[in-house]
Structure 1
Amino acid sequence: MQQSIGPAGAHCHLPVVSVDNVSFQYEQRNVLDRLSFDILQRDFVGLIGSNGAGKTTLLRMIVGLIKPTSGEIRLFGTPLGQFRDWERIGYVPQKNAFNPLFPATVREVVLSGLYGRKKLFRRMNKDDLRKCDDAMHALRIEELADRRIGRLSGGQQQRVFLARALVNNPELLILDEPTVGIDSETQESFFHMIRHMHQRHNITFLMVSHDIDMMHAYLGYEPAHTSGKLKFYVKHTHELDNCAETNLAHSLRDLRLAGFEEPAAVR
């Protein structure tokens, strides 16, 4: 059994992500070398490393966009090559991965998070549209629903991609620099929301962020695991008083009731 990067007492939870002796080479250079770890249910894993350390490469391998040179990745216990339940995973890539000329509205982009790789052409029903409306409301982009994604500001676009990743209430949320291009107030709102979701909802997080102070404030200052230039910071939660509601609008309502105010305007 390989090393878990969650806490010692959390072995009762099944691994959500298992990376077993994974290496990745690019142009004959080792980007990742024999990396092994487990991420357990309800872990929040913050990944920090210098440029070129392989952070984005690792996330892209986990979501199946590139293949490791060697080793194996498993999602929810299933080898990556056999995994089909992609609706269980939300993924926000780095902002520079987006083509600004993509001809789609905000609503269409958010709805695309519900399609899944095996449901690409299915018809949207009323429940799908409600989930879309909830996600847009939670990220405060409902007034942008009919705007073309390429005509939005960088901060607005990133809100759309966050809504797309969250629309299906995923069990695993993978975020690659999710707050780049978003104003500081909205960054704080976002961190509050995902901390609430981690503490009260059955969601596992894997996040790369440039905001080291925010990461340390929630995850601590001592990495649970180090591999090469990568440092993994982990916080585990297993609250018994889970929220009865699971939608995104509820998560932000809870923050407002706790006295946290959202920024006044979409930037």
Structure 2
Amino acid sequence: MNKPAHSGCHQQIVSIDDIFFSYENKTVIDGLRFQVLERDFVGLIGSNGAGKTTLLKMIVGLLRPTRGEIRLFGQPIGQFRDWERIGYVPQKNALNPLFPATVREVVTSGLYGKKNMFRRLTKAQLQKADDALYAMRIEDLADRKIGQLSGGQQQRVFLARALINNPELLILDEPTVGIDAETQAGFFRMIRHMHQHHHITFIMVSHDMDAMEAYLGEQPVQRSGGLSFYVKHTHDPQDCVETDLTHSMQQLRESMEVLS
């Protein structure tokens, strides 16, 4: 049974109102209600088939709910157009290893939206790409094909792509699957820094219960079907005075030093 969603004076980043989703005749998500407030870190845990990835895909507009409403930054998802405010890192197994794009091309693809899909990138946008590559310590891989990289390197590429617009909401679907323990530890240190010191809201699916509970607490704030939601609020003022992309990327670079 769902518990009342937390509320307060902070902006609702994601509002999920009585969502249902079915694949053919199988209901995967049944009457989910949940709110994500600005600067929340939401950890989503559940067994295979519980609907974790399905829910994330609905939030980023890749799937439509069978019934119910999702609002992003206060707008119904069908009317939402500011997708650059959202960064999304899908599961690693969503990548076709034969996809011919280079690392730089994958990262810069995060700059294209419906508004500028066919426009040439500006010098400032190209600098954003360089900043993102530098921050993730993959600048030396810029001309390599994405399918030639290790699992950990690929995750850095997708994270760089998601961060290139300095998003307000970052959605991560099992970002540490297939990477070694040291890299996982460095990744968690990095996103904790981002959450604590920058104006970013997180929704993350992970099977790493120890890492999730260490940061978010041992008890979920809500359960719905097979999904458990763990939440940490960071609603105090930001500690980092600088909030531009270049500063954020430098902070990430320093956090990523352990991943070399």
Q: TM-score range by the shorter chain?
A: over 0.9
Residue in 1 aligned with 2:65? 68
Asked whether the equivalents of residues 4 and 39 of structure 1 are also in contact (C-alpha less than 8 Å), the reply is no
| Secondary structure at the counterpart of residue 78 of structure 2 | helix
Other structure's SS at 1:38 match: strand
What number of residue pairs does the alignment pair up? 256
Q: 1:122-147 CA distances to partner (integer Å, 9 max, x unpaired)?
A: 22122212211121122111100011
Read off the aligned partner of 1:251 and give its amino acid letter.
Q
Q: 2:47 is matched with which residue?
A: 50
Are residue 85 (structure 1) and residue 101 (structure 2) matched?
Answer: no
Per-residue deviation, 1:155: 2.0
Instruction: Give yes or no for contact 2:19–2:67 (8 Å, CA) kept in 1.
Output: yes
Residue correspondence of structure 1 range 196-207 to structure 2 within 5 A = 196-207=193-204
Counterpart residue identity of residue 173, structure 2: D
Q: 1:165 aligns with which of 162, 166, 173?
A: 162
Q: Distance in 1 between matches of 2:65 and 2:239?
A: 36
CA deviations over 1:94-153 (Å, ceiling 9, x no partner): 111112222211011001111123322222122212211121122111100011112222
Give 2:233's aligned amino acid. H
Q: 1:155 aligns with which of 130, 152, 155?
A: 152
Equivalent AA in structure 2 for residue 48 of structure 1 = I
| 1:252 aligned residue | 252
Percent same amino acid among aligned pairs? 68
Choose which of 30, 35, 47 in structure 1 pairs with 2:32: 35
CA RMSD of aligned residues (A): 1.8
Runs of 4+ with >4 A deviation: 2-6, 253-256
Q: CA 1:17–1:241 in 2, change beyond 3 Å: closer, same or farther?
A: closer
Q: Which moved more, 1:204-213 or 1:183-192?
A: 183-192
Query: What is the CA–CA distance in structure 2 between the aligned matches of 1:206 and 1:54, rounded to whole Å?
Result: 14
* Alignment partners' CA distance in 1, 2:135 and 2:250: 8
Is the aligned partner of 1:19 residue 2:19?
A: no
Deviation string 1:14-60 (CA, Å, 9 cap, x unpaired) is 11001100000112011000101110011000000111110000000
Aligned twin of 1:111: 108
Q: Which residue of 2 aligns with 1:174?
A: 171
2:5 and 2:33 in contact (8 A); partners too: no
**Contact residue 196 and residue 238 of structure 2 kept, 8 A:** no
Residue 258 (structure 2) aligns with: 262
State which of 122, 147, 152 in structure 1 corresponds to 2:119. 122
When normalised by structure 2's length, the TM-score is 0.93
* Shift of residue 244, structure 1, vs aligned partner: 2.3
Q: Following the alignment from structure 1 to structure 2, what is the Cα–Cα distance between the partners of residues 99 and 221?
A: 36
- Asked if residue 218 in structure 1 is aligned to residue 215 in structure 2, the reply is yes
Relative to 1, partners in 2 of residues 1:160 and 1:227: Cα closer, same or farther, differing over 3 Å? same
Q: Distance in 1 between matches of 2:254 and 2:144?
A: 29
CA distance in 1, matches of 2:60, 2:255: 30
Contact 1:200 1:239 in 2 (8 A): no
Q: Which residue of 2 aligns with 1:236?
A: 233
Aligned equivalents of 2:62 and 2:4: distance in 1? 24
TM-score (norm 1): 0.91
- Within the candidate set 130, 133, 152, 1:133 is matched to 130
Counterpart contact for 1:25–1:31, Cα < 8 Å: yes
